[in-house]
Amino acid sequence: MNMDELLGDVSNGTNAKDDIIALKRFHRTYLGGSRRMNQRCHETQPYIEGQEIVYIDVNERTDWDYYATYTLEVERWLIDHCGWEPTTTTLMKEQGINYQDTECVCILEKGDHQIVLRRCAEFYREIFETIPIWFYYRYLWKSSPEHDYGIGTAEIQPIFETLFMLKHKWSK
């Protein structure tokens, strides 16, 4: 049974949030990025700098980042049925210019929503969920107020690659 048969008309492909809700019924899909870190700030302790409590702030302009384990079926369903498109970064990777981390297979987007299809979402989740909020705030959050011009992918990718390497080493 394919995804269209399983999901039926749960998502008609017009709303990215509905697509993600439908995908979650069939395939483990996780919220990531600054919206997930914002949730973690409220679930645990926020980042405390000096005497000031600093949160990962989100607003209506903040994009939505999700991740899931890659399968060709999931990729095709999102593209063909729901109208998601490969990001410029994914298209560049296909041309041999790689700005993605090694655990990323492709990134799809629709409006202000992105989904990173990863080799193993659970592997990434184990790492992402243990990143201290202060570390994310200072070194991984593209919108961190600590950086006048934000943090670029070129600075973030090597940090994640190091975390992946350490996780692989510790898992042996």
Do the Cβ atoms of 17 and 24 come closer than 8 Å? Answer: no
Residues 6+ apart with CB under 8 A from 161: 101, 102
Pairing of strands 113-118, 64-69: parallel
- Mean pLDDT along residues 37-58: 74
Full domain range(s) for residue 91: 3-170
**For a pLDDT cut of 90, what percent of the chain falls above it?**
45
What's residue 59's pLDDT? 87
- How many C-beta atoms surround the C-beta of residue 77 within 10 A? 24
Q: Quick one: pLDDT band at residue 149, thresholds 50, 70, 90? A: low
The pLDDT confidence band at residue 159, using thresholds 50, 70 and 90, is: very high
Query: pLDDT, tens digit, for every residue of 67-123?
Result: 999 999 999 999 999 999 998 766 676 666 566 788 999 999 999 999 999 999 999
Q: Report how far Cα 14 is from the mean position of its chain's Cα atoms.
A: 21
In the prediction, which pLDDT does 65 show? 94
Order the strands of the 104-110 sheet from edge to edge: 29-32, 64-69, 113-118, 104-110, 85-86
- Number of independent structural domains in the chain: 1
State the Cα–Cα distance between residues 31 and 35, nearest whole angstrom: 7
- At residue 1, the pLDDT reads 45
Instruction: State residue 126's pLDDT score.
Output: 95
For the packed helices 153-170 and 121-128, what is the interaxial angle rounded to 10 degrees?
Answer: 100
Task: Give the pLDDT confidence score for residue 75 in this predicted structure.
Answer: 95
- Average pLDDT (157-170) is 91
- pLDDT band with cut points at 50, 70 and 90 for residue 164: very high
